Amino acid sequence: MAVSIDTVYQRVLAILNKENRGYVTPQEFNLFANQAQLEVFEQYFFDLNQYSRLPKNDTEYSDLPKLINEKLSKFKKSASVSYMTDHFHLPSDLHKLGTVIYNNTTPVEQIDKKNLLEYQLSKLTAPTTNNPVYIQSIGNTSNHWGLIVYPTTINANISITYVRKPNEVTWASQAVAGNALYNASGSTDFELHNSEETNLVLKILLYAGVSIKDPNIAQLADAKETKKLTQEKS
């Protein structure tokens, strides 16, 4: 299930044109759409953290952490990571890092770089192949963001679980008689759950209102979005 890029685009245009509020070009729409998708996606993690602190709800269709995890399920991945001179290179589509595993069996603990020396000097916490640790850092010999695993004798057999980024969306068009008509073959839909369609429309309208300098559109979209979030969390 996904949200049609064309459906969202047409709804945004219909609302903007209802009272001759203005026009958003396909290029502007694509920028707004990708920003809106990232905002909705990132909100999942804040909501999951918040809802997980609430008393558990055993109602099948009202278990909010479960619902959010279902929305995130298509973005969850696992991968083996390659060693590159001085670090393990993380996937380019990584958004949130999950578990790091050595040899498919041993969890690798994350530590802060500032605590590394303390870990290394202590007999109780010194990293070993049975008790490895890692820090996230830019590789010393590259600009790639990755993992530096200790002890540094570990240079293979590291795997991770992670949440990938949503693919960028595109509303593509072709010119017909001077008009921009939807080109499905060149377009990319939102990857978010289809229940997010309204959220996406409202967020894009908010950006559009700012772009065309119409505070009424921005205020209306913001008010509706706030009302929707309040209802979801009440």
pLDDT at position 169: 97
pTM of the model: 0.81
Q: Rounded to a whole number, what is the largest CA-CA distance in the chain?
A: 76
**Cis? peptide before 151, omega within 30° of 0:** yes
Torsion sign across C-alpha atoms 187, 192, 195, 201: negative
Q: What does residue 158 show for φ and ψ, rounded to 5 degrees?
A: -105, 130
CA torsion angle 6 12 13 17 (round to 10) = 160
pLDDT at position 215: 57
pLDDT at position 213: 54
In order along its 234 residues, the chain shows pLDDT tens digits of: 689 999 999 999 988 876 555 678 899 999 999 999 999 999 999 998 887 776 666 666 667 888 899 999 999 999 999 998 889 999 999 999 999 999 999 999 999 988 899 999 988 889 999 999 999 987 555 566 799 999 999 999 999 999 999 999 999 999 888 788 999 999 999 999 999 999 999 999 888 876 555 555 556 555 555 655 554 555
Radius of gyration of the chain (CA): 23
Report how far residue 183's alpha carbon sits from residue 197's, in angstroms, rounded to the nearest whole number. 20
Give the start-end residues of each E strand in the chain.
76-81, 83-84, 87-89, 94-102, 106-107, 109-110, 133-138, 145-150, 158-164, 173-176, 179-182
pLDDT at position 40: 95
pLDDT at position 147: 94
